[in-house]
Structure 1
Amino acid sequence: MALIDFSFYSSIYSYNHLFLTVLSFLVSALIFLASMRKSKLKRVNLPPGPAGWPIVGNLFQFARSGKPFFKYVEDLRPIYGPIFTLKMGTRTMVILSDAKLVHEALIERGSIFSTRPRENPTRNIFSCNKFTVNAAVYGPVWRSLRRNLVQNMLSSSRIKEFQHVRDKAMDTLINRLKAEAKANDGVVWVLKNARFAVFCILLAMCFGIDMDDETNEKMDQVMKLVLITLDPRIDDYLPILSPFFSKQRKRALEVRKEQIDFMVPFFEKRRKMLQNPESDKTAISFSYLDTLFDLKVEGRKSGPSNEELVSLCSEFINGGTDTTATGIEWGVAQLITNPHVQAKLYDEIKQTVGDRAVAEKDIDRMPYLRAVVKELLRKHPPTYFSLTHAVSEPTTLAGYDIPTDVNVEIYLQAIGEDPKLWRNPEKFNPERFISGGEDADITGVKGVKMMPFGVGRRICPGLGMGTVHIQLMLARMVQEFEWSAYPPNSKIDLTEKLEFTVVMKNSLKAMVKPRA
């Protein structure tokens, strides 16, 4: 869960640019006169930004740029500074890319900047009208859901209770890699195998039921289908075009029904198991689902409905799967690109545990491993933007007005690679956290220098769990194998692209050689 944070704004570029341009022109032409009335309304002092067209705002310029959204933002930063405004259709976005401004907003004034903006109704279908930890507005529902997740599921003591689940998944991961390497002359797919391992861990933690590979695969298909359905559409930004997307809304309802129909039987199975623990000897003694059945939510008389349980369980599984798996892929890519880092990490593992398998208890005695993971999260946060924030009341930031209907977007890469905060930020250098005199409070409380999990009151509650997963997986994978590029002697392409998370443009195939 720790690596949950992402923003669908950063994937707008996947639309057909010509289609967007034509629509921008037509909509502007049709309702230009109506927009003139807005000039009579009270003006607010928003941060500066590029002038846009009536109604469509900057959608036209963005479409014409032909660039991913984060690149478009990157190009505007030298012109407009660390805080600027983009108007994307009916959405007004205030982009933050300065660590001090982020600290002021999310830490010093977190109670104001901790809510969520309005969303397209299609998205509310899957969040059950914002009944999830990430989507809920700042208030009693969010407090109840987050308190339950943190205290009853993601506390350090509770995470330790699932160590046997992680141990089993790690053994399965290593065996899968060995089998794949044997069948393919030493070549393995990194992301696919890492994703399978994390998904199995989260399924067991969520449902408390041992599932076979066929069921795991079906659950994965259902989860992926939901994510695909939530891909952004142009009517997210121009609701006037919603009538043209009735088929997509109908499809979203069909996917939601399929999701509910598939997942609810697992709820019933778990309820029966809790009533009669002897009925399933393979069941895990505790699960996230157990904490939700009778959850008391402020202002409500009953616990969550089955539909709300589906949303909460989906959030738990989806939030921690791809984010962690892509972190592992980037980690392996950097270890191949920087063989001296891989060698030093292996030496630390060998000195710490000898010939036995790395266990979670060993991680605290591996400062270099922790430094490698921290540098990995600095260089490769799972998304370009954190989850969108909004203010609960009109306020100001850096002397500019921030109205309640504005989307506050935080550009993570600009902070993690800010040369004012980091020496040689483009370089992958774990040593900066050990002997280089550099460090960062990853929670942002003492100051923001990197924020792969977000910061403040809406910081990802799964920070601890996600970090453990990445540390343990990388340690086991380096302990068992020496990793090198495929084809041999080739250079790893570190070009990025956005899917659900920021992944490698060319999914990583690597050569593995079992350690002697």
Structure 2
Amino acid sequence: MDAFIGFLQNTQPVVLLSMAVGLLIAGVFVVVFHGRRHLRSNEPPAVPGLPLIGNLLQLKEKKPHQTFAKWAEKYGPIYSIKTGASKLIVLNSTQVAKEAMVAKFSSISTRKLSKALTILTCDKKMVATSDYDDFHKLVKRCIITNLLGAGAQKQLRGHRDVMVSNMIENLETTIKENPSGAVNFRDLFKDELFRLALKEALGQDIESIYVPELGKELTKKDLYNVLVVDPMTGAIEVDWRDFFPYLRWVPNSKWEEKIQRMASNKYVVMKALINEHKRRIQHGEGTNSYLKHLLSLETLTEEHLISLVWEVIIEASDTTAVITEWAMYQLAKNPDRQDRLYDEIKEVCGTEKVTEEHLPQLHYLNCVFHETLRRHSPVPIVPLRFVHEDTQLGGFDIPAEAEIAINLYACNMNKEEWAEPDEWRPERFLEGTHEFSDLYKTMAFGAGKRACAGSIQAMLITCISIARFVQGYGWRLVEGDEDKVDTVQLTAQRLQPLCVYVKPRK
């Protein structure tokens, strides 16, 4: 909403006059025809807002999940708000969220994307953002079979082992060079995670590549910025016209240029990477990769290939890093719980290094993982869905053409479902008050037919990394960082990178 306010402050009077006329016409339409509309007596309670713009001014901070959670305390777990011309139904409890994602899936299976996400995803040409149709079923089957399913993860085990070994080696080097200095955990983790994502998507690590359209060679750091950092930033850039579709004709040039530049840079870089992979295949150098499988389908356009391969890179590089960084923050902040995890690792593994074979026996580690998902949901709000037929949720009538926002943050911070939800307490899952199935109550990977395909990989990478970090080193926060919990971007990434003192264990 800051973008909308800034637009009003900097726009020419003629354009503002045009907007005013458009809003006036829309207002007259609402007044004249609202009375003719059949009112449903059983719709969810509505949060009061202003005429025409609805509740937009109340959402000016880019942390709607927190605002939604506060409203839930007053209006209940399901309510409606107005975002300009659209009605948004917000779900804030586990029960009603699962009802929407599972029982009523057929009525709300369509994705609703902002203009920014539409541009960045080439109009839904990805598994995560596509509508539930034949294309979605095809590409989700491809990514599970060849990359993210249990069988594929066994074949890709070597990549993960190399990743963890590299991180430990880099950590040891950093400590030796500056034994008393703080370690930037994000830099340590994200570089190797990005390397892993490139190997899985393209079959090899990429140190640099020449991009003809840009006329220059891009380093790995450049690649990370273009393919991960910029799109994640652009995904939360608000085009105020999303809220007022009847004003699409009013220009928003500065916003359009920014998003189009991000999308164009991403596109030409991915095109260069794909062309290089094709060249290697022609020379008999191609290795097994997700891209190689997609090329074998022979039915996908260049836009499809670019979007699907980029999806693997950005999703593997971002959300897993977010989860792991928060887990290490909490362990460094809570030395008693860090010691408890270390003791479990010693009991299970003895003097052996932790491997993925040990993970099923490390119950407290499993609790650390799921408690971090609960307290720091990597995607606080599930991407919006569109109601394409009248349905019911939580006992309320939900009209067609409404939008649905599932607020996982509010679900996981609900005092009626979680005791002391503000506290990060992994042992809550070991106290007998929760069934094993409650480990998945956080819904961090969604539920139903649109559940995240990458849940197995995220769990393996995060858990083995945490275990190896704690097995070999003691972790302590930098003084003053105990309460630094602000987040940024589309996911719940920490605003400030985690910096910790790390000491090798004897």
> Which category of TM-score, normalised to the shorter sequence, fits these structures?
0.7 to 0.9
Instruction: For 1:16 and 1:146, locate their aligned partners in 2 and report how far apart those are by CA, in whole Å.
Output: 36
Correspondence for 1:265 = 272
Instruction: For 2:292 and 2:358, locate their aligned partners in 1 and report how far apart those are by CA, in whole Å.
Output: 30
Offset of residue 314 of structure 1: 1.6
The letter for the 2-side match of 1:507 is P
Instruction: For 1:380 and 1:359, locate their aligned partners in 2 and report how far apart those are by CA, in whole Å.
Output: 26
Offset of residue 30 of structure 1: 7.0
Correspondence for 2:13 = none
The letter for the 2-side match of 1:463 is S
Correspondence for 2:449 = 457
Q: Does 1:502 align with 2:504?
A: no
Q: Deviations over 1:389-414 (max 9, x none)?
A: 22342212234332332221111122
The letter for the 2-side match of 1:472 is I
The letter for the 2-side match of 1:100 is Q
8 Å contact kept, 2:68–2:410: no
Offset of residue 472 of structure 1: 1.1
Q: Deviations over 1:334-384 (max 9, x none)?
A: 112211111111122223333343222221221121111111111111122
Calculate the TM-score normalised by the size of structure 2: 0.87
Correspondence for 2:211 = none
Offset of residue 52 of structure 1: 2.7
Q: Deviations over 1:143-173 (max 9, x none)?
A: 1111111122211121121111111111221
Q: Does 1:216 align with 2:223?
A: no
Q: Does 1:114 align with 2:116?
A: no
8 Å contact kept, 2:108–2:387: yes
Correspondence for 1:248 = 255
Segment drifting more, 386-395 vs 28-37: 28-37
Matches within 5 A, 1:88-107: 88-107=83-102
Correspondence for 1:411 = 407
- The 1:337–1:135 alpha-carbon spacing in structure 2 relative to 1, beyond 3 Å, is same
- The 1:60–1:248 alpha-carbon spacing in structure 2 relative to 1, beyond 3 Å, is closer
Matches within 5 A, 1:276-355: 276-277=283-284, 279=285, 285-295=287-297, 303-355=299-351
Matches within 5 A, 1:169-188: 169-184=163-178, 185-188=180-183
Offset of residue 81 of structure 1: 0.8
The letter for the 2-side match of 1:53 is L
Question: Which consecutive unaligned segments of at least 5 residues does structure 1 have?
Answer: 1-11, 296-301
- The 1:336–1:123 alpha-carbon spacing in structure 2 relative to 1, beyond 3 Å, is closer
Question: Which consecutive unaligned segments of at least 5 residues does structure 2 have?
Answer: 11-15, 209-217
Runs of 4 or more above 6 Å deviation: 20-25
SS of alignment partner, residue 483 of structure 2: coil
SS of alignment partner, residue 105 of structure 2: coil
- The 1:38–1:441 alpha-carbon spacing in structure 2 relative to 1, beyond 3 Å, is farther
Aligned partner of 1:401 among 388, 397, 407: 397
Correspondence for 1:147 = 141
SS of alignment partner, residue 243 of structure 1: coil
Offset of residue 201 of structure 1: 1.1
8 Å contact kept, 1:191–1:328: no
Instruction: For 2:326 and 2:139, locate their aligned partners in 1 and report how far apart those are by CA, in whole Å.
Output: 32
Instruction: For 1:118 and 1:500, locate their aligned partners in 2 and report how far apart those are by CA, in whole Å.
Output: 13
Aligned partner of 1:205 among 200, 204, 213: 200
Instruction: For 1:241 and 1:105, locate their aligned partners in 2 and report how far apart those are by CA, in whole Å.
Output: 31
Q: Does 1:189 align with 2:184?
A: yes
The letter for the 2-side match of 1:234 is W
Q: How many residues align?
A: 484
Offset of residue 44 of structure 1: 4.8
Correspondence for 1:54 = 51
Offset of residue 16 of structure 1: 7.1
Correspondence for 1:77 = 72
Sequence identity, in percent? 27
Instruction: For 2:387 and 2:333, locate their aligned partners in 1 and report how far apart those are by CA, in whole Å.
Output: 42
Correspondence for 1:480 = 472
Aligned partner of 1:228 among 233, 240, 257: 233
Instruction: For 2:360 and 2:62, locate their aligned partners in 1 and report how far apart those are by CA, in whole Å.
Output: 42
Q: Does 1:512 align with 2:502?
A: yes
8 Å contact kept, 1:369–1:471: yes
SS of alignment partner, residue 153 of structure 1: helix
Q: Deviations over 1:280-329 (max 9, x none)?
A: xxx6x42111221133xxxxxx5212222111112111122221112111
8 Å contact kept, 2:478–2:499: yes
8 Å contact kept, 2:66–2:410: no
Correspondence for 1:3 = none
Calculate the TM-score normalised by the size of structure 1: 0.86
RMSD of equivalent CA atoms: 2.7
Offset of residue 452 of structure 1: 0.9
The letter for the 1-side match of 2:192 is A
- The 1:50–1:437 alpha-carbon spacing in structure 2 relative to 1, beyond 3 Å, is closer
Offset of residue 430 of structure 1: 1.8
